[in-house]
Structure 1
Amino acid sequence: MSPAMARLSIAFRLALREMRGGLGGFYIFLGCIALGTGAIATVNSVSTAITGAISSQGQSLLAGDLRFELNNREASEPETAFLEGLGEVSVSTGLRSMARKADGSGQALVEVKGVDGGYPLYGTVETEPQQPLPDLLGQEGGIYGALAAPLLMDRLGLSPGDELLLGNTRIMVRGTITNEPDALSDGFGFAPRLMVSRDALAASGLIAVGSLVEHSYKIRLAEPSTRGAIAARAGKEFPDAGWSVRTSDRAAPSLAENIDRFSQFLTLVGLTALIVGGVGIANAVRAFLDAKRTTIATFKCLGAPASVVTMIYLIQIMLLAAVGIVVGLVVGAIAPFIAFHYLEGVLPVPEGGALYPSALAIAAAFGIVVTFAFAILPLGHAREVPATALFREQGFEARRLPSWPYLLAAGAALAALAALAILWADDRRIASVFLISVAGAFLLLRIVAAGITALARKSPSVNSPALRLAIGNIHRPGALTPSVVLSLGLGLALLVTLALIDGNMRNQLTGRISAQAPNFFFVDIQGSEVEGFRQLLKQQAPEAKVFEVPMLRGRILAFNGQDVSQMNVPAAGRWVLRGDRGITYAKNTPEGSTLTEGEWWPQDYSGEPLVSFSAEEAGELGLKLGDTVTVNVLGRNITAKIASFRNVEWQSLSINFVMIFSPNTFQGAPHAWLSTLTDPSASAAKEAEILRTVTDAYPTITSVRVKDAIDLVDQLVGQLATAIRAAAAVALIASVLVLAGALAAGNRARTHDAVVLKTLGGTRTMLMRAFGYEYVILGAATAVFALLAGGIAAWFVVARIMRMQWGFLPDVAITTIILSLVLTVGIGLIGTWRILGQKAAPVLREL
């Protein structure tokens, strides 16, 4: 056996023997490891399970092997023949419209879905009562049947058997929809579902020239494995079709992408908790080695090389870390089963139970690397202390850094941690920025701690003995200042950031945006109805501002002749290319728009098609003046040159478009109109009256009350914020554990100080006051840092990324300060009270 292996074997045996004494002093260490590892394992297990379910249940989620979607037009005869030649075809049609009670007592916006007799090709529509779909939607006594979402039944006070007016036809609600297999692949809807037959939808008169309608052709293939080749073939044979083709292995790509992004964010929050816990690991290791000083001195006096002593305690620490990691992995393996119980019916979840080794492995890897990175430096300090110093009860509060091998090992471990986080991330740029931010926050917190220490050292003398002692405790050697500031600073700053972002978003939705937004959007106004509709609104709301524009739908196919599906588009600009976009044309620059580059075309322009592009989105897509954009509108490919860029204020909720074309581009093309009505003085009763009058006079026009949409978005934002706050709470819990660990690490020195001061006449009350002052000062300093750092981070996200108005929220500041003081003072005094109860004699005999 080589000398190195012999030393390792001896170190391993001694480490195991010494661990027979139990895990005393390491419970906080285990808590930090288990919390961070468990959070990462849980998030990644749930994410892997859901994305796997989306892939494995793709046929049911898509209700077919292939889906061809066309907007504002049905498939032509050659296209229909091609689709029918592929396999069994089911056609469905979707649009938004108004559903009215037959007695005129109420109306609501609905997401209408017209289906044929073959729907669904895969999966099952679950209804109450459960009957064959053709029976529920068929025509009886001249009235078509319908199925409504429970929300619509509640909103209009409906019961099975009640009748509704949909456009120009009367339908009977014969039941409710409890599960729609392809709801997720159809996308998010602002209104409850109303399912009818395609015959009923045709009879309603809602499908007209220019109407915003989606026609989906779903195919059941004899050989599902050929779906990819067929999708590519469809693009080559019908290059101008403009249809969106989706395969069952990517049934809900937007959902899967959003889940991946959100899980990445939660993973990074869990990693933050683990890194914050790393400070606790360092404190626990330092306290552990401090308690083992006599044993270490004995080893060294008996001739044990310093490397053997280091290996003994590194082995012990890593074995203990393995216990914490196993606990975290058990939590991560069990948590998905609990999550599936709540997510079932909302998101696809796998049937039965399963473990996700890759998710657990990455969590374990993070736990191991973090433990090693934060444990190696305290071990390096212990290695440098001579045996004589240890016997004299001197501690490990080294003024200098450990030797270069330990610094190199710690640096390599941190580099490995960063590489692991970046390589695992879906969006590596975000992961890199996040890690740089965390590293910057740690550095800044060290500077803050050094600043507090320097101020305390140079502060003038005060008359109060308790306050003077508190200030001295802040800057004395071995002070808790760095540990307390580090432990709480990052967790509180994260909470402040999220709270300010959430608060600003809600203020925008319920305040500024709500005040500026129109009262109504009116969609699918036919050209023959525009003048009469305008006069009706003028009668109902003479003081209101009415604005209308032509409205078409188009899909971007290419930039400068290059297929966008083959381009590496930055994540920030992908939404512009996802699905069809609303487009319009105009002679003049729209009201509220400001050109940033280029020029608007003359009113009588008749040259090549031109387009004005939103400046922000153009920058994200890398476009410049003179570039060309190819869009497919109504089955026709149109290429236009970018003539100008303009600012678009999306948060105003007024009529805005990414692309506005010159009028000659769509000369003669059939289209509908889009209109808004803005009347800030209109009451809820007046809005209800306008809605009822418009719906009765023009049943095929879709009316969207903006306040209802804002309320829905506000609800979704609230649910998202709750999930993010829960994740951030994990980081705060880790901070609390680290704070408790920091106090525990300093207990030995505090005990000596307390005993000496009590011997010299100090009372327990005076000492409690001194420690209380110390914790208040540290807590206030940490709160100030959290407010500054969190405020800057939230400002950047709200003002620079979301492009929304920013405002500081005093209630968040007050809550943060109170939380910081409660945690520091509360935990500090709880630990200090036990210290002050120590008997003086046993401690004095050890000095």
Structure 2
Amino acid sequence: MPLSQTLKLAIRFSLREMRGGLSGFMIFLTCIALGVAAIGGVNSVARAITAGVANEGQTLLGGDIRFELNQREMTDAERAFVAQLGTLAESANMRSMARLEDGSDQSLAEVKAVDDAYPLYGALLTEPALSRAELFGERAGAFGAAAPDIFFERMGIELGDRIKLGSATFEVRARIVAEPDAISDGFGFAPRLMVSLEGLRASGLIQPGSLVEHAYKVRLPPNSTEADLVAIRDVAAERFPEAGWSVRTRSNAAPALASNIERFSQFLTLVGLTALVVGGVGVANAVSAYLDGKRGVIATFKSLGASGGFVFTVYLVQILIIAGIGIIAGLALGALMPFAAGAVLSSIIPVPAEGGFYPMALAMAALFGVLVTLAFALLPLGRARDVPATALFREMGFGGRGLPRLAYVAASLGLAVILALLAIWFSGDRRIAAIFVGATIFAFIVLRSVGVAVQWLARKSPRVRSTALRLAIGNIHRPGALTPSVVLSLGLGLTLLVTLALIDGNLRRQIAGSLPERAPNFFFVDIQAGEVDAFAALVQEAAPAGKLMRVPMLRGRIMALNGVDVQTMQVPPEGAWVLRGDRGLTYSATIPENATLSQGEWWPEDYDGEPLVSFSADEAREIGLEIGGTVTVNVLGRNVTARIANFREVQWESMGINFVMVFSPNTFAGAPHSWLATLSVEGATAADESRILNVVTRAYPTVTTVRVKDALDVVNRIVAQLGTAIRAAASVALIASVLVLAGALAAGNRARIHDAVVLKTLGATRRTLIAAFSFEYLLIGLATALFALFAGGIAAWFIVARIMTLPSSFLPEVAASTILFALVLTVGIGLVGTWRVLGHKAAPVLRNL
């Protein structure tokens, strides 16, 4: 018979057999739909946010192109060049202390000062709505200001109340409802306080060396194109090679947000793929159980002369049709996610998610769904193909037939390899994706080994007197036992959950306990060079038992490494942060007390040769630096090249004063700069900290004081939000594990019915059988939980200790909850199915023996 006719006949038989419905395939459908929905939905939401950022780029950036400078304003020549491009708006951002007029309380604020042209795009919405003059103008000795609700709550003030900022007085006249370009200013540890540029200058906060960022936003003519923006950047770089400014365009309005969204979506995609792969175990179980129920049909086909290939095609078509239904359901859910995410994310990310249809994201999810289905269905289908009709009529099923012929094994492995390669290819960070895929493959192999080991231990265990326990141990290692399927299905999901729970728990413990104990109580920023000694004396008087550390500080941007422009370099993601944006810089004649040299030598205290720099060892290794290489940094509009003299190990986790780069003192001779200081007071109470903060703020209103506890509280809230989101994503894989577990147990019900009927006929009571099945599920669940704790503990330790370089500890509460959860799942789901098994009548089963 020609191939086309064979295929048509196979399709016709497949459709006829499916008239009975999808009984037995609901877990198959749910697993495929869940994984496809997770992958398609996450990527659709990420693309929706990216589209929202692109469409709102001008508003989010505050212009078509934006030039940013740290610690200095534009020169006349630079300003003239920028101003001739179009309409210019200038703003300045810095952190400072806002105080009540009587000095009784104060709070850190993210101060943003704007000019008359602000905003160039979008609208600043305030309540009440005021004109710019009414909102920011000077009136009765006070400049105007606006702030969000959280600022009013922290300061305990109402509309119309006055505050002090530096040496100037401000009247808070409105609440900020919407700030159009807030996201382009980056993440802030404190609430916004918006004032005018005139008001900020009058405050005296802008002094030589102050940590202030000046932003110059330009509205270009309406017909400007992306090519025009690129040309402007090129001309700016050519005419002002040492400006040291950061230039962003409307197409890159929020690079940090875009990068974070990309990383998070990649992580969730990999979690979704894990759920899909876990669901693949459910596919294999469902296909095996379905084919086992079709033994008579398959035997009849073969007895009537049907070839093994025809049988294979009939059931492959059925599996693909069923998978197609699951994939379509998953795609429908994934396509709806961008619309649902808009409302949820609006309170978290100030970017409108563009609800829409994203075919590429959905196509990728569908492709993964098809590959997983085929990879896991081919083995049971191939096994059914080669079983002779006589064996099908005699045997209970396919469980004891071993592996199918080599072609099916090779095809299944080939599809698994393609799936892994595509997962890595579609990921932005292919190194992380490769590690994730490798870990999943390794977990599969190890879990299979664990299942085999559990069966071997059960087989070698000594004979016990309890009948129920003896039956349970026998069930664990008998042919066709559920042990491998249960361990594999539940193990992956539990391991992922344990890993994330331990990482989250360790981070929370560090932020809430260990870090505050090691970290200083305060950071003091923008201490003027002429005031640093008097400031130190005041702090020591206010906190006699405290330890004050102070260092000079500048801001600079790395422009080149070994003479190569960093914008043309490809560096690993873990080291890219060093080259992104501005870095804090310092100089020192001696080795910093919280660092140790790992390579090279420190310069003499009276050194006066070529500029030298000490680089942090880990970061230097990540970006490929060596002793003797050069680093070019731009500081205050001037490029400075220094030779790398040594590497040092830096204890970032101490949260003390640490810098990536420490220069020889002669490098920045004569450059205006401020000082940074930390204060550690052992055993200080909240009242002590409030008193010290009040004393410093009253005496030095231009010094910015950051209480570390407040900063850690902000970080803790962010970690908590991320932890919740990550655990929610991981629960998708766990749900798939539970579904597969239920499917695996359901797939073994026919054999269970046979065993139960025979045992009851021989005199076993219902209580004995329930106890036997309970012991079986208990032992398998305990073995799976112990493996998950071991594997998840190693993975979490590696991430926390090696990647995050934080102390890592095993959390007993995670261990206890994991074991309890695994036992409840395996015993609970197992007994639900067992109860139905025990209710079967003996006669119908005995007649078929």
Q: What TM bracket, shorter-length normalisation?
A: over 0.9
Quick one: distance in 1 between partners of 2:461 and 2:677? 67
1:643 is matched with which residue?
A: 645
Quick one: distance in 1 between partners of 2:407 and 2:256? 48
* 1:781-818 deviations in Å (ceiling 9; x for gaps): 00110000000000000010000111111111001000
> Which has the larger displacement, 329-338 or 522-531?
329-338
Q: Secondary structure at the match of 1:224?
A: coil
* 1:530-553 deviations in Å (ceiling 9; x for gaps): 121111111111110011000100
2:337 is matched with which residue?
A: 335
1:151 is matched with which residue?
A: 150
2:186 is matched with which residue?
A: 187
Shift of 1:326: 1.0
* 1:321-365 deviations in Å (ceiling 9; x for gaps): 111111111111112222110111432554763111111111111
Quick one: distance in 1 between partners of 2:626 and 2:340? 50
Question: Does residue 523 in structure 1 map to residue 525 in structure 2?
Answer: yes
Quick one: distance in 2 between partners of 1:431 and 1:68? 35
Shift of 1:56: 1.5
Shift of 1:102: 1.2
Indicate conservation of the 8 Å contact 2:586/2:663, yes or no. yes
Quick one: distance in 2 between partners of 1:240 and 1:148? 36
* Counterpart residue type for residue 746 of structure 2: A
Quick one: distance in 2 between partners of 1:418 and 1:813? 31
Shift of 1:820: 0.5
1:162 is matched with which residue?
A: 161
Indicate conservation of the 8 Å contact 2:382/2:404, yes or no. yes
Q: Secondary structure at the match of 2:163?
A: strand
Quick one: distance in 2 between partners of 1:399 and 1:475? 16
Quick one: distance in 2 between partners of 1:484 and 1:122? 58
Question: Does residue 785 in structure 1 map to residue 787 in structure 2?
Answer: yes
1:712 is matched with which residue?
A: 714
Shift of 1:47: 0.6
* Counterpart residue type for residue 55 of structure 1: A
Q: How is 1:545-556 mapped onto 2 (pairs within 5 angstroms)?
A: 545-556=547-558
1:4 is matched with which residue?
A: 3
Q: Secondary structure at the match of 2:63?
A: coil
Q: Secondary structure at the match of 1:109?
A: strand
Indicate conservation of the 8 Å contact 1:63/1:121, yes or no. yes
Quick one: distance in 2 between partners of 1:591 and 1:526? 23
1:580 is matched with which residue?
A: 582
* Counterpart residue type for residue 654 of structure 1: G
* Counterpart residue type for residue 696 of structure 1: R
Quick one: distance in 2 between partners of 1:778 and 1:345? 44
Quick one: distance in 2 between partners of 1:842 and 1:127? 78
* 1:284-321 deviations in Å (ceiling 9; x for gaps): 00000001110101111111111111111110011001
Indicate conservation of the 8 Å contact 2:49/2:353, yes or no. no
Indicate conservation of the 8 Å contact 1:112/1:194, yes or no. yes
Quick one: distance in 2 between partners of 1:723 and 1:145? 40
1:63 is matched with which residue?
A: 62
Indicate conservation of the 8 Å contact 1:53/1:348, yes or no. no
Q: Secondary structure at the match of 2:209?
A: coil
Indicate conservation of the 8 Å contact 1:49/1:349, yes or no. no
2:102 is matched with which residue?
A: 103
1:616 is matched with which residue?
A: 618
Q: Secondary structure at the match of 1:284?
A: helix
2:305 is matched with which residue?
A: 303
Quick one: distance in 2 between partners of 1:134 and 1:141? 14
2:439 is matched with which residue?
A: 437
* Counterpart residue type for residue 224 of structure 1: S
Indicate conservation of the 8 Å contact 2:342/2:354, yes or no. no
Question: Does residue 50 in structure 1 map to residue 16 in structure 2?
Answer: no
Indicate conservation of the 8 Å contact 2:45/2:353, yes or no. no
Quick one: distance in 1 between partners of 2:777 and 2:84? 77
* 1:80-119 deviations in Å (ceiling 9; x for gaps): 1101111110000000000001122311000000000001
> Which has the larger displacement, 583-592 or 410-419?
410-419
Indicate conservation of the 8 Å contact 2:489/2:741, yes or no. yes
Q: Secondary structure at the match of 2:175?
A: strand
Q: Secondary structure at the match of 1:140?
A: coil
1:375 is matched with which residue?
A: 377
* Counterpart residue type for residue 428 of structure 2: D
Which of 262, 280, 292 lines up with 1:278 in the alignment? 280
Shift of 1:44: 0.7
Shift of 1:142: 2.7
* Counterpart residue type for residue 672 of structure 1: S
Indicate conservation of the 8 Å contact 1:54/1:348, yes or no. no
Question: Does residue 726 in structure 1 map to residue 728 in structure 2?
Answer: yes
Indicate conservation of the 8 Å contact 2:43/2:265, yes or no. yes
1:312 is matched with which residue?
A: 314
Indicate conservation of the 8 Å contact 1:33/1:274, yes or no. yes
* Counterpart residue type for residue 215 of structure 1: H
2:224 is matched with which residue?
A: 224
Which of 651, 656, 659 lines up with 1:654 in the alignment? 656
Q: Secondary structure at the match of 1:632?
A: strand
Question: Does residue 19 in structure 1 map to residue 18 in structure 2?
Answer: yes
Question: Does residue 543 in structure 1 map to residue 531 in structure 2?
Answer: no
> Which has the larger displacement, 810-819 or 217-226?
217-226
* Counterpart residue type for residue 198 of structure 1: L
Indicate conservation of the 8 Å contact 1:227/1:247, yes or no. yes
Quick one: distance in 1 between partners of 2:731 and 2:747? 24
Indicate conservation of the 8 Å contact 2:274/2:440, yes or no. yes
* Counterpart residue type for residue 29 of structure 1: F
Segments of 4+ in structure 1 off by > 3 A? 348-353
* 1:54-76 deviations in Å (ceiling 9; x for gaps): 11111000010000000000000
* Counterpart residue type for residue 240 of structure 2: F
2:87 is matched with which residue?
A: 88
* Counterpart residue type for residue 632 of structure 1: N
Shift of 1:409: 1.5
Shift of 1:208: 0.2
Distance 1:816 1:153, change over 3 A: same
* 1:478-517 deviations in Å (ceiling 9; x for gaps): 0000000001101111111011111111111122211011
For structure 2, the 5+ residue unaligned runs are: none
Indicate conservation of the 8 Å contact 2:52/2:354, yes or no. no
1:495 is matched with which residue?
A: 497
Q: Secondary structure at the match of 1:612?
A: strand
1:819 is matched with which residue?
A: 821
Indicate conservation of the 8 Å contact 2:342/2:355, yes or no. no
Q: Secondary structure at the match of 2:752?
A: helix
> Which has the larger displacement, 449-458 or 140-149?
140-149
> Which has the larger displacement, 569-578 or 621-630?
569-578
Shift of 1:595: 0.1
Indicate conservation of the 8 Å contact 1:47/1:263, yes or no. yes
Q: Secondary structure at the match of 1:644?
A: strand
* Counterpart residue type for residue 293 of structure 2: A
Indicate conservation of the 8 Å contact 2:338/2:354, yes or no. no
Shift of 1:247: 0.7
Indicate conservation of the 8 Å contact 2:122/2:180, yes or no. yes
Quick one: distance in 2 between partners of 1:748 and 1:296? 18
Aligned pairs, number: 846
2:135 is matched with which residue?
A: 136
* Counterpart residue type for residue 201 of structure 1: L
2:73 is matched with which residue?
A: 74
CA RMSD of aligned residues (A): 1.0
TM norm structure 2: 0.99
Q: Secondary structure at the match of 2:757?
A: helix
Quick one: distance in 2 between partners of 1:773 and 1:239? 75
Quick one: distance in 1 between partners of 2:351 and 2:179? 15
